Amino acid sequence: MLPDYYTEIQSYMKNHKKKQKNSFTNKTKKNKFEKLSKLELPQLNWITIIKSKWFIPAILLFFMVFIFSLRFLSDADLGFHLKGGKWITENHSFPQKDTYTYTVNNNDYINLHWLFQVISYKLYTMTAYSGLSIYKAVLTSLLFFLLFVRNKILKASIPVTVITLLAAIICIESRVVMRPELFTYIFITSTILILDIYYLQRKNYLFFLPVILLLWVNSQGLFILGWFIIGAYFISTYIKDKKYDKKLLLYGIASVAVSFINPYFVKGVMFPFYLFTRFNENNVFSNIVEFQSFWETNQNLTIPYILFFIFAFFSLFLFVITIKRRKVHEFILLIVFLYLSFSAIRNIPLFIIISVPIISISLSELIIRIKNKSFLHIKTRINITLAIIVSIFIIGLSMRLITNSFYTGQRLKFKTGIGLDYNKQPIKASEFLNNNNLDGRIINDLNIGGWLEWSIHQPVFIDGRLEVIKEDFYKETMFSNTEGGLRKLIAKYKPKLIIFDYEANISWIMQLNKLSNWRIIYVDEIVAIYAEKNYALEIPVFDYNQLVRNKDININPNDSVIWHILKTPHQSKFKNWLNGFTQKSVYLYPKYLKIGTFLDIAEEKNIAEKFYLEFLKHDKGRYYKVYQNLGYLYLKTNQYKKAKYCFEQILKHDKKNKAAIKNLNYLRSKI
């Protein structure tokens, strides 16, 4: 047995060794943390980028960004922006009251978009609509170039930059339209780029900030985001340096001051605060999809939305695990813009352009931590392989954009090309009104008001300038979609013509069916025009059979032909996808299915059937919902065997479709 004092010494030595070990472990952890906090990423210059294995993927990326944004002009706001640019140019002044409508022409018109509108209109006069398409693509490419430069300033790795920018353009492509928001995206990125250079390199380009704000306040109403961004960097520099940055404070004050240099002075500066009320769930405009959050819209989880959630998750995750290297302004911008993106779909691009650099730099820092030399060879091989894979992906996606298969495959209404989109803008309808001198008072829906006020002679009923329309009038127009609502609008405003996008206003078709003093005089892939029975009598009631003749559709198919089309073999998804790389894809929806739906609701079911069948013949069963339209049509016309077949086709694609199951149960008792 050992003496007690020896046992005590042994116990002491054991505890001492343990403390030394813990001390060593803590010291090691501390050293690792200090190394991480002092981690220096390799300096990137343009020569390094050109020599990089990722230079070709980067070039391909910018080519794809250009193609992604080189689309036919389809935005509903295009018309009133061109109208605004024309009005300002011709009148040499800025509008104070609305002059575009006959309904709200006493309302104030605070047109902070005027600079965007004048530039767009001047460009249109020189290059027509084709120039506007190219202009939009150039602006989008500039935005992504600025994001690339910002990543370079932050020393984010080239592979990470290319991949994040690739994901970003796919995520926000639906918002890349001819709107002044494009200016806002560019101004946000430019502002942050200047502040990053000042914060990280102490190079003073702050004098550009007031210039950007001056252009911003005269282009788009979200210029106060510039104030907020400057404020976030000011707070960040104060926390870092423990003192106020006088230069940044001075240029920040100057940036706020120049915001008052706009045609409406204080009213112009206060205008954005009115815009933010739209995101209140109690605001009547909150029923417009782009002002709703994703959770409220009940939309399908498409690729852009999946990418948005990936951006949201990784930006937060990477921020947390690299938090010791993150800056205060990054945290402020990330949280606020993430909140905005979850508040409304239209704000998602704002968050994406904020999160791209944060994700890129955080991921780059994590990758560079790997210092295991035995891994370096594998890392190089992975880098080359990944560059090849990304290049192939970009080339493939670009090919599908050029053939339009990317859009048609997802049933999107965009098309690659330059000029106007005849499937979205009511161009032919406005030409019909002008050619026939139909200048009587109109009632139109909100979707087409912008184009009509640009293209026809008379004032319109409503357009997309919600800041002019105001909540009360918008609420009044909303009631027109309820039973008898359109009749009330007609009684109050006494129009001679009603022109509307019938897909967005199906209830108007049903209501007009019941109004004997209105007759239809025009239909195309986008709109229908109805005339008051005593107006424009020289124009006859529209002959629906004319639609069939114009589309070169079989006007009297026999029963065997109909069954043959119904049983058209479905083209395999893989073959269809493969063809999308080389074969031009045509968007058939408005040409056949949309018109067929209108005719169906207008109780012209015989002609509607022909359009449905023509769609099915060309589409080859890829869009199975056409069987739903046909199934209900055959059900209402007592063609039970055909109805049964159509609902069975629906169940092949959607086995839990309750309506199809219910109708099949009913049909079993009839056949």
Mean per-residue pLDDT, 603-611: 92
Bridging pattern class, strands 442-444 and 497-501: parallel
Q: Specify whether the CB–CB gap between 639 and 631 falls below 8 A.
A: no
pLDDT band at 192 (very low <50, low <70, confident <90, very high): very high
Q: pLDDT for 206-252, tens place per residue?
A: 999 999 999 999 999 999 999 999 999 999 999 999 999 999 999 99
* CB < 8 Å & 24+ apart, contacts of 235-238: 235/328, 235/329, 235/332, 236/199, 236/327, 236/328, 236/329, 236/332, 237/199
What confidence score (pLDDT) does residue 501 get? Answer: 95
216 occurs within a structural domain: yes
Last residue of a domain, one of 361, 380, 408: 408
Instruction: Clarify whether residues 534 and 560 are in a common domain.
Output: no
Q: Specify whether the CB–CB gap between 109 and 87 falls below 8 A.
A: no
Instruction: Clarify whether residues 360 and 461 are in a common domain.
Output: no
593 occurs within a structural domain: yes
Instruction: Clarify whether residues 404 and 469 are in a common domain.
Output: no
pLDDT above 90 for 348: yes
Instruction: Clarify whether residues 234 and 290 are in a common domain.
Output: yes
pLDDT band at 372 (very low <50, low <70, confident <90, very high): low
Instruction: Clarify whether residues 514 and 483 are in a common domain.
Output: yes
* CB < 8 Å & 24+ apart, contacts of 568-574: 568/616, 568/617, 568/620, 568/621, 569/620, 569/621, 570/620, 570/621, 570/622, 571/620, 571/621, 571/622, 573/622
User: How many domains is the chain partitioned into structurally?
Assistant: 3
64 occurs within a structural domain: yes
Q: What is each CA distance from 169 to 79, 145, 228, 348, 625, in whole angstroms?
A: 26, 12, 25, 12, 30
337 occurs within a structural domain: yes
pLDDT band at 1 (very low <50, low <70, confident <90, very high): very low
87 occurs within a structural domain: no
11 occurs within a structural domain: no
Instruction: Clarify whether residues 512 and 560 are in a common domain.
Output: no
Instruction: Clarify whether residues 250 and 169 are in a common domain.
Output: yes
Instruction: Clarify whether residues 333 and 445 are in a common domain.
Output: no
What confidence score (pLDDT) does residue 52 get? Answer: 83
CA neighbor of 344 nearest in space, from 267, 283, 303: 283
pLDDT above 70 for 353: yes
What confidence score (pLDDT) does residue 279 get? Answer: 64
Instruction: Clarify whether residues 168 and 301 are in a common domain.
Output: yes
Q: pLDDT for 52-85, tens place per residue?
A: 888 999 999 999 999 999 999 999 999 999 999 9
User: pTM of the prediction?
Assistant: 0.89
Q: pLDDT for 558-594, tens place per residue?
A: 889 999 988 887 777 788 888 888 888 888 888 899 9
pLDDT above 50 for 113: yes
Instruction: Clarify whether residues 536 and 457 are in a common domain.
Output: yes
Q: pLDDT for 479-521, tens place per residue?
A: 999 999 999 999 999 999 999 999 999 999 999 999 999 999 9
pLDDT band at 27 (very low <50, low <70, confident <90, very high): very low
Instruction: Clarify whether residues 582 and 659 are in a common domain.
Output: yes
What confidence score (pLDDT) does residue 439 get? Answer: 93
Mean per-residue pLDDT, 258-279: 87
94 occurs within a structural domain: no
116 occurs within a structural domain: yes
Last residue of a domain, one of 542, 558, 582: 542
Last residue of a domain, one of 502, 522, 542: 542
What confidence score (pLDDT) does residue 298 get? Answer: 67
Other Cβ atoms within 10 Å of 127 Cβ, number: 14
| Domain membership of residue 237 as a residue range | 46-69+110-408
What percent of the chain shows pLDDT beyond 90? 64
Instruction: Clarify whether residues 152 and 295 are in a common domain.
Output: yes
Q: pLDDT for 416-456, tens place per residue?
A: 999 999 888 999 999 999 999 999 999 999 999 999 999 99
Using DSSP's 3-state secondary structure scheme, residue 345 falls into helix
pLDDT above 70 for 470: yes
